Structure 1
Amino acid sequence: MSYQALYRVWRPQSFADVIGQEHVTKTLQNALLHQKISHAYLFSGPRGTGKTSAAKIMAKAVNCEKMPVSEPCNECPACLGITDGSVPDVIEIDAASNNGVEEIRDIRDKVKYTPNAVKYKVYIIDEVHMLTIGAFNALLKTLEEPPKHVIFILATTEPHKIPLTIISRCQRFDFKRITAQDISKRMVHIANETSLEYDEKALQTIARAAEGGMRDALSLLDQAISFSTGKVTVEDALTVTGSISQNSLNKLARAIFEKKISEALGTLEELLMQGKDPSRFVEDFILYFRDLLLYKTAPNLDEVAEQALQDEEFKTLSEEVLPQQIYEYIDILSKTQQEMRFSNHARIYLEVCLVKLCQTERAQTQVDGPQFQELYKKIEALEKEIKWLKSNSQPVGDSAPKQPAQAPRRPARNAGKEFRVSPGVVTQVLKEATRQQLNDVKSHWGEFLNILNERQMRSQAALLNDAEPAAASADAIVVKFKYDIHCQMAMENHTFIQTISQILESQTGTDFKIIGVPEVQWKEIREQFLQTSKNEGDESTAEEQDPLVSEALKLVGKDLLEIKK
């Protein structure tokens, strides 16, 4: 055959020709210059990234007559013989078809013989992960301590399948995927050298479709050249690769963003009529939105574009669409891609996906509007309340009023921080309070707390852990709270107060009014009430309401207690 594929004709013959693997080639070149050559190498990485080519270049470099050099001269008999395959001391083995123990034993037996034509005998074992366990075991000892004239170079696309005992005996180099920019530059060089007429965007389309493999890119370029009529155009590249044109992606994305369902479905119909594969379409669309997101958030990032070309429509759309919308688009497309793998009706899934993309954005707009308006109103009301509290708060040194004004529905606040209850309300209960009523309420208090816990109201019941009844009349109870904040939270929760009243009514048969008071304020009100009662000569009720007297009565009983002023 007179014609050879481009990837064979333009196979790298020196480390400088290996595209996108500078981290590997630089290390190997330094090792060659300093003559620190290892006995075994492992080249791993995706297909078409230059593993086997680098292995053959290494074989030429170590056997070059001008050694030590960083590049083979490709002029001496050793380099020329290795290039055309006439040197028998460089042996390429395909492990996919020679993976048995016998083939490896044959290598082990022949490795002891010195090379015939060159200095080093080099074994290049491609797809080494295909060897069996027995073959790996047969290679193990030889790989670890080969003769001085032997070098092993193992190449694989799946290094995880190689035993660790093999990997540990080799210098490992990981080849990475080649960027679309580097692939495009290499194809431009080849096209210029071969006087090929081409459209630059066509080469960029092929480079993105190659998915990081230089060999795949050159194979696609070969097909595009055969398909074209003298000049490789963008349409030729799209037809060969099966990719979606940039205009179609922009048009479809614009229709989705503007919620034009009919236009989006019409564009999809055109693409499917052109023979585009639904699975490839979803993949290209996901990559398009990925590029849109990266360009919007990091426009200066290298190698941003994976699928999309950064034309004017692409840039305009990136300014209009929000990142949250792109997240939603990618999520829906990814779920559709998963579902399409297990169905024979890919077109239906695509149509439903496009409708969902359009309607999801519309639903978000409809739902978010009223919710945000309501949220803005609440925030505005809170800001007004905070402003009012700040304007009505008093400095620490100022004297606060003894009796703050009573609010119509909830207790007033002092200095915007402490919870204050109207002393008149508490004093009225003290005037009517009796010891019998208080003891009756206290006898049911423990059971009352248990009922709250049983009703799954533990968080509310926790507010009453440090609270206790301090006074009780025929229709009201004063509950003393140790902490102001607990008193405030309890008293401002009207549902909670109503629940307490209902439970106490079911226990005692009386519908009590609950009045909460912080412990500090309770002491002030109690002292004031005692002073008033003393002047009136009626201190019995006040004494019964004294917390110290109440605790003493609990401990020793009324008969053993003597109260003295």
Structure 2
Amino acid sequence: MAYQALYRVWRSQRFDDVVGQKAITQTLKNAITQKKTSHAYLFTGPRGTGKTSAAKIFAKAINCPNSKDGEPCNECEMCQSITAGSQEDVIEIDAASNNGVEEIRFIRDRANYAPTKAAYKVYIIDEVHMLSTGAFNALLKTLEEPKEHVIFILATTEPHKIPLTIISRTQRFDFKRINAQDIVDHLTHILKEIDISYEEQALYIIARAAEGGMRDALSILDQAISFSDGTITTQNAMQVTGSLTFEMMDQYIGACVNKEVQQALTYLEQILSEGKEARRFLEDLLLYCRDLLMYQQAPQLLSEKSGHLTEAFKELSATVTPEAIYYMIQILSETQNEVRFTNNATIYLEVATVKLATPQTGAVQAIPSGNSAPQPVDSAAVQQLQAQVFALQKELQSLKQSKNAGAAEQSAAPKAKQKTSKASFRVPTERVFQVLSEATKPDLLNLKNVWDDVLMAMSVTQRAMLKSSEPVAAGPNSLVIAFEYEIVCQKATGDEELTLTLSNTISRMIANYSPNPVYITRESWPEIRRSYVSQNRHADKPNETFVTPEDEAPEDQLPQEDVAVEKAKEIFGAELITIIDD
């Protein structure tokens, strides 16, 4: 038989095997034994915390004829077929690849039939947040009127993307990140079962790198086993996870504390040349600084098993002030955010290193010993600082005077600037007219119905750009979007990625509809609309299909005969009027 990954071989088969989720598993077991199960559940939480495993265990336990205390026996034909994925009454669906309305309608139709072998039909929908708006609406109908023999289990890592109408009709269970000690205990049990020796500190390194996910921990352990020579060592775990060795962290932080800029940069270069990943590098340093602080304030909370408690670590803990550690954590956190949005992390890491190790910062400094004498004040330096302060005060006074003198020029400048910016954006009138020639009111209404969902599906930056906009006309192939601010409209016009993403997102929300957007300012829209109405008033196909009554041309701009018709409708009623063209 082909080799299977550890996370597949050691997947939980009973509620008691699920690590770190005792409250959830106990609640589900009690519900099964007391026969108080719900028709729909929502399992949320980070990846690899046991959501799908718990769903399959629940499906086995509720259908197992030999179930005891809410646990499946895992020996009967029903349990084994569900474990193997061959039981036709337990259906597991990946919503990432089956997210359309048709798939959910198919599920809804099948749910009307009674199960063939099991007591309950169980639908497990993984990554349910990937369903389209239409699919959620189709699912909602089923959840509103549930069948007695059907149970839905929805699993997701992003519950904020699920409509509240769906959430309110389910029992929600939030799976939490698994703590490092629970992960280490589980890895220890597995390694003993498969008879592989290990160093305990190596398992702590793997547990930290897994970030609370048991599946990630087992995947890293799999790599460490393949990399090792029969024994999983601390060095193996460091290399597989890309973490820094304890000596590297001691040397780097020590150089920063001692204000040795050149030495700190040399250590950084060595770290990066060994292929250490920037994100992991910063995470390790943050954890190291956190451990320094913890060891200062509550040493009993740090275990020797963590591996950080080297002699160099203890020396640093005794010499660095808490304020210095706060400062280091702040700098490292800021750098961590900056590195996320750049392709050249080295520059940010070098800047952070200089900040940490530069004496002028006055923050990263050692605790002075009790025997050290106070340093004498350098009078020459004090005089130099006083001179600089005097010069700065003088310069500030002259700036205030020049500001008052040039007030008139400054007040005129914004007006000129505003005038220039007003003329900077050219409204694409011809393209708008082309959209209006084929625009229909149903297309516009359909688009407005899903517009909020379209915005939520865009990235944060794109959503912010489109927040002050709205669709004002739509046809089968294109649409017009009006922006509140001209500068945003101009930026959107030049953003090809925004246009492509918007078109693709709309096509996901409305089947067979992928319009090309045209951007205009909201200020220019009434004039464009009136101009088009005026030019096409006697066309075979009038423009009423794309405008609402309040959008129509004002009465004083209508031809005289149209005004007469409107007055007649007003007096006698539209149903009594017959219009005959001469």
Q: Same fold (TM over 0.5)?
A: yes
- Once the two structures are overlaid, the 10-residue window that deviates more, 243-252 or 333-342, is 333-342
Maintained 8 Å contact 1:45/1:157: yes
**In structure 1, how many angstroms separate the alpha carbons of the residues matched to 2:304 and 2:44?**
26
Name the residue aligned to 1:563: none
Name the residue aligned to 2:316: 317
Counterpart AA for 1:216: D
Distance 1:196 1:187, change over 3 A: same
Name the residue aligned to 2:91: 91
1:284-303 correspondence to structure 2 within 5 Å: 284-301=284-301
1:437-452 correspondence to structure 2 within 5 Å: none
**In structure 1, how many angstroms separate the alpha carbons of the residues matched to 2:206 and 2:363?**
37
Q: 2:91 is paired with a residue of what secondary structure? A: strand
How far apart are residue 49 of structure 1 and its match?
0.3
1:267-286 correspondence to structure 2 within 5 Å: 267-286=267-286
Name the residue aligned to 1:356: 355
Counterpart AA for 1:348: I
Counterpart AA for 1:61: A
Maintained 8 Å contact 1:179/1:303: no
Maintained 8 Å contact 1:295/1:304: no
Distance 1:147 1:341, change over 3 A: closer
Counterpart AA for 2:53: S
Distance 1:334 1:361, change over 3 A: farther
Name the residue aligned to 1:123: 123
**In structure 2, how many angstroms separate the alpha carbons of the residues matched to 1:361 and 1:203?**
40
State the Cα deviation string for residues 256-279 of structure 1 (Å, max 9, x = none).
Answer: 222233332232222122111233
Q: 1:195 is paired with a residue of what secondary structure? A: coil
**In structure 2, how many angstroms separate the alpha carbons of the residues matched to 1:23 and 1:374?**
63
**In structure 1, how many angstroms separate the alpha carbons of the residues matched to 2:108 and 2:174?**
26
How far apart are residue 180 of structure 1 and its match?
1.1
Counterpart AA for 2:226: S
1:29-48 correspondence to structure 2 within 5 Å: 29-48=29-48
Distance 1:68 1:37, change over 3 A: farther
1:15-414 correspondence to structure 2 within 5 Å: 15-67=15-67, 69-301=69-301, 309-360=308-359, 363-364=362-363
**In structure 2, how many angstroms separate the alpha carbons of the residues matched to 1:330 and 1:364?**
12
How far apart are residue 297 of structure 1 and its match?
2.8
State the Cα deviation string for residues 160-208 of structure 1 (Å, max 9, x = none).
Answer: 0001110011000000111111111111111110011222111111110
- Once the two structures are overlaid, the 10-residue window that deviates more, 233-242 or 12-21, is 233-242
State the Cα deviation string for residues 231-259 of structure 1 (Å, max 9, x = none).
Answer: 22122211111111122112222222222
Which runs of no fewer than 5 residues in structure 2 stay unpaired?
A: 369-373, 378-582
How far apart are residue 301 of structure 1 and its match?
4.8
State the Cα deviation string for residues 110-132 of structure 1 (Å, max 9, x = none).
Answer: 10111111111100000001111
**In structure 2, how many angstroms separate the alpha carbons of the residues matched to 1:137 and 1:301?**
50
Maintained 8 Å contact 1:34/1:68: no
Distance 1:304 1:98, change over 3 A: farther
Name the residue aligned to 1:428: none
Q: 1:292 is paired with a residue of what secondary structure? A: helix
**In structure 1, how many angstroms separate the alpha carbons of the residues matched to 2:342 and 2:166?**
42
Counterpart AA for 1:135: A
How far apart are residue 358 of structure 1 and its match?
1.7
**In structure 1, how many angstroms separate the alpha carbons of the residues matched to 2:376 and 2:258?**
26
Alignment TM-score, normalising by the size of structure 2: 0.60
**In structure 2, how many angstroms separate the alpha carbons of the residues matched to 1:313 and 1:179?**
27
Maintained 8 Å contact 1:40/1:143: yes
- Once the two structures are overlaid, the 10-residue window that deviates more, 40-49 or 63-72, is 63-72
Counterpart AA for 2:169: R
Name the residue aligned to 1:7: 7
How far apart are residue 66 of structure 1 and its match?
2.2
Counterpart AA for 1:206: I
Distance 1:358 1:98, change over 3 A: same
Maintained 8 Å contact 1:15/1:54: yes
Distance 1:349 1:299, change over 3 A: same
State the Cα deviation string for residues 73-118 of structure 1 (Å, max 9, x = none).
Answer: 1112211121112211000011111111101101111101111111
Which runs of no fewer than 5 residues in structure 1 stay unpaired?
A: 376-565
How far apart are residue 134 of structure 1 and its match?
0.7
Compute the RMSD of aligned alpha carbons.
2.7
Maintained 8 Å contact 2:12/2:18: yes
Maintained 8 Å contact 1:220/1:241: yes
Q: 1:252 is paired with a residue of what secondary structure? A: helix
Distance 1:149 1:342, change over 3 A: closer
Distance 1:357 1:308, change over 3 A: farther
Counterpart AA for 1:193: E
Runs of 4+ in 1 over 6 A off after TM superposition: 302-305, 372-375
Distance 1:342 1:47, change over 3 A: closer
Instruction: Give the paired residue count.
Output: 372
State the Cα deviation string for residues 300-328 of structure 1 (Å, max 9, x = none).
Answer: 558999x8734443344223321110111
State the Cα deviation string for residues 317-375 of structure 1 (Å, max 9, x = none).
Answer: 22332111011111122233333344444323322322221224773589x99xx9999
**In structure 1, how many angstroms separate the alpha carbons of the residues matched to 2:43 and 2:304?**
28
**In structure 2, how many angstroms separate the alpha carbons of the residues matched to 1:90 and 1:365?**
59
Maintained 8 Å contact 1:181/1:303: no
State the Cα deviation string for residues 119-155 of structure 1 (Å, max 9, x = none).
Answer: 1110000000111111111111211332111111000
